[in-house]
């Protein structure tokens, strides 16, 4: 084992990446990644998790270098803030909350609602809402706030993304299934209760602890940033 490999696995261990769920909740697809059990909690084999992580990061680099967008998705309270922060820094779309059905499978209709949100927002910023009554302005403000929650993170998404990066594919089953239907690969941080067969690039690891989630998202962010910097010029 190389020094770099040791360092990576040590970092994963320090961030609690190795903790799964109780054995009674284990999905059969994760069996090959389990090292053992401690205090009734399954422990991931971090050497295997690292291999899976590196494969996922290589794929993400290719997507980023191609210019396609990366859609970050989570509804977990432990992950929302970190995921939003990473996506915004990378200028990528995100869903940090409830997944709206049809976001991928019926994107044309979703795009219409996003366009309406942008139009209303533009009106407000230009002071054009003054022509409405006070009651009408209140209703419009409420509409804008609602649309912001639903679609604010995906305003920049003009077409289907090149990949979904998901925290906990079991919780985000609808998003994962929509991605499968439209042919968008999924990279996911997935604990031992998840069906890894539904994910193109599963990364077996702790999808509950904030430290583990932050570590995973940090590695994804580095991969995207490096790929954008190293992206060949289109003229070459």
pLDDT, one tens digit per residue, over 97-117 is 999 999 999 999 999 999 988
20: left (phi over 0), alpha (psi -120 to 50) or beta: beta
pLDDT at residue 235 greater than cutoff 50 = no
pLDDT at residue 55 greater than cutoff 90 = yes
In this predicted structure, what is the pLDDT of residue 2? 44
Q: What is the mean pLDDT of residues 134-138?
A: 86
**pLDDT tens readout for residues 21-34:** 999 999 999 999 99
Q: Which position has the token pair 């539904």?
A: 198
91: left (phi over 0), alpha (psi -120 to 50) or beta: left
In this predicted structure, what is the pLDDT of residue 108? 93
In this predicted structure, what is the pLDDT of residue 176? 98
All domains of the chain in start order, with CATH: 3-100+160-230 (3.40.50.10490), 107-154 (1.10.287)
In this predicted structure, what is the pLDDT of residue 5? 56
- Rounded to a whole number, what is the largest CA-CA distance in the chain? 70
Q: What is the mean pLDDT of residues 9-28?
A: 95
**pLDDT tens readout for residues 168-220:** 999 999 999 999 999 999 999 999 999 999 999 999 999 999 999 999 999 99
Query: What average pLDDT does the structure give for the chain?
Result: 92
CA atoms of 94 and 84, how far apart (whole Å): 7
CA atoms of 110 and 46, how far apart (whole Å): 39
């Amino acid at each position: 084992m190389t020094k770099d490999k040791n360092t990576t696995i040590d970092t994963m261990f320090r961030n609690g990446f190795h903790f799964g769920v109780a054995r009674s909740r284990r999905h059969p697809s994760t069996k090959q990644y389990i090292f053992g059990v401690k205090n009734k909690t399954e422990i991931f084999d971090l050497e295997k998790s690292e291999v899976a992580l590196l494969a996922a990061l290589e794929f993400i680099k290719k997507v980023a270098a191609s210019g396609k967008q990366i859609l970050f998705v989570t509804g977990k309270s432990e992950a929302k803030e970190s995921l939003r922060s990473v996506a915004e820094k990378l200028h990528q779309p995100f869903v940090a909350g409830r997944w709206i059905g049809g976001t991928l499978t019926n994107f044309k209709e979703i795009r219409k609602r996003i366009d309406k949100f942008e139009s209303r927002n533009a009106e407000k910023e230009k002071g054009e809402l003054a022509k409405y009554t006070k009651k009408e302005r209140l209703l419009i403000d409420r509409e804008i706030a609602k649309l912001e929650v639903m679609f604010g993170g995906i305003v920049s998404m003009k077409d289907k993304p090149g990949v979904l990066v998901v925290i906990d594919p079991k919780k985000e089953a609808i998003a994962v299934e929509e991605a499968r239907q439209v042919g968008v690969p999924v990279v996911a941080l997935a604990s031992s209760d998840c069906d890894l067969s539904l994910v193109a690039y599963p990364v077996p690891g702790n999808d509950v602890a904030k430290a583990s989630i932050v570590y995973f998202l940090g590695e994804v962010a580095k991969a995207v940033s490096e790929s954008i910097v190293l992206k060949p010029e289109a003229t070459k």
